[in-house]
Chain A
Amino acid sequence: MDKLARPLDADRRNYRTLAIVTAFILLIPVWARAIPGDVLHMDIVNIMVLAGIYACVVVGLNLLVGYAGQISLGHAAFFGIGAYTTAILCTRVHGFPTWLGVLAGAALSGAIGWLVGKPVLRLKGHYLAMATLGLGEIAFILFQQLKGLTGGTVGIMDIPPLSIFGLKFDTDLKLYFLVWVIVMALMLLSINLIRTRVGRGLRALHSSEVAADAMGVNTSSYKVQVFVLSAAFAGLGGALFAHFQKYINPESFVIAISIMFITMVVVGGMGNIWGGLIGVLLLTFLPQVIQALPQWIPGLPSGLQSFSNYELVLYGLLLILFMMFLPKGVADGLGRAADFGEIRARHLRDRRNAKRLEGR
Chain B
Amino acid sequence: MAHKILRWKLPIALFCVLVAISLVGMGCGTQKVDTSKSVYKIGAVLSLSGPAAPLGQPEQNSLKMLESQMNAGSGVSGHKVQFIIEDDQSDPAKATVAITKLIKQEGVAAMIGSSSTGATLAMAPVAESSLTTQVCCAAGTAITKPVNKYIFRTPPTDSMAIDKVLGYLTGNLKVTKIAILHDANAYGTGGATELAARAPAKGITVTANESYGTSDTEMTPQLTKIQQTPAQALVVWGTNPGPATIAKNMQQLAMKIPFIGSNGIANKTFITLAGPAANGVVFPGGNMLIPSSIPAGTPWRNAVDKFTADYKAKYGKDADTFAAHGWDAGLILTDAMKTAGTNKAQIQTAVQATKGLVGIDGTYTYSATNHDGLNSGDLIMIKIENGAWTQIK
Contacts and interface: CB of A to CB of B under 8 A. Distances in A.
B26 A34 contact: yes
Interface residues of A, number: 49
A251 interface: yes
B122 A247 contact: yes
Contact of A41 (B11, B105, B184): B105
Interface string B137-156: 00010100000000000000
Contact of B124 (A247, A249, A251): A247
B89 A249 contact: no
B106 A341 contact: no
A356 to B, nearest CB: 16
A10 B93 CA distance: 37
Nearest to A21: B11
Contacts of B125: 245-247
A35 B28 CA distance: 9
B350 to A, nearest CB: 25
Contacts of A157: 121, 142
A308 interface: yes
Contact of A31 (B3, B22, B90, B97): B22
Interface stretch (B185-193, B300-308, B351-359): B185-193
B6 A155 contact: no
Interface residues of B, number: 48
Contact of B186 (A249, A307, A346): A249
Contacts of A153: 184-186, 189-190
Interface in B249-295: none
A251 B122 CA distance: 11
Interface string A169-203: 01010000000000000000000000000000000
Contacts of A291: 86-87
Given A342-B6, A349-B2, A308 B25 contact: no
A172 B121 contact: no
Interface string A135-178: 00000000010010000111101000000000000101000000
A178 B185 CA distance: 35
Contacts of B330: none
Contact of B105 (A31, A37, A241, A349): A37
Interface secondary structure of B, over-half rule: helix
Interface string A38-60: 11111100110010000000000
Interface in A1-50: 13, 20, 24, 27, 31, 34-43, 46-47, 50
B341 interface: no
B113 interface: no
A38 B33 CA distance: 12
A208 interface: no
B20 to A, nearest CB: 11
B49 interface: yes
Nearest to A157: B121
Contact of B48 (A40, A43, A306): A306
Nearest to B12: A20
Contacts of A247: 92, 121-122, 124-125
Interface in B1-45: 2-3, 6-7, 10-11, 15, 18-19, 21-23, 25-26, 28-29
Contact of A43 (B21, B100, B118): B100
B117 A35 contact: no
Contacts of B142: 154, 157
A157 to B, nearest CB: 6
B167 interface: no
A169 to B, nearest CB: 13
B91 to A, nearest CB: 7
B40 to A, nearest CB: 14
Contacts of A24: 11, 15
B105 A155 contact: no
Given A249-B121, A251-B118, A342-B6, A46 B100 contact: yes
Contacts of A20: 11
A342 B7 CA distance: 9
A37 B190 contact: no
Interface string B173-213: 00000000000111001100000000000000000000000
B104 interface: yes
Max chain B C-beta neighbours (<10 A), residue from A31, A40, A46, A345:
A46
Contacts of B23: 34
Nearest to B103: A43
A13 B48 CA distance: 44
Interface string B43-82: 0000011000000000010000000000000000000000
Given A43-B97, A46-B101, 16 more contacts: A13-B7, A20-B11, A34-B23, A34-B26, A41-B105, A47-B97, A50-B97, A152-B189, A153-B190, A157-B121, A251-B92, A288-B97, A309-B48, A312-B49, A338-B10, A346-B2
The 9 residue pairs across chains A and B that have the minimum distance between CB atoms: A37-B105, A36-B29, A35-B25, A153-B186, A308-B87, A34-B22, A308-B49, A46-B100, A43-B101
Interface of B: 2-3, 6-7, 10-11, 15, 18-19, 21-23, 25-26, 28-29, 48-49, 60, 86-87, 89-93, 96-97, 100-101, 104-107, 117-118, 121-122, 124-125, 129, 140, 142, 184-186, 189-190
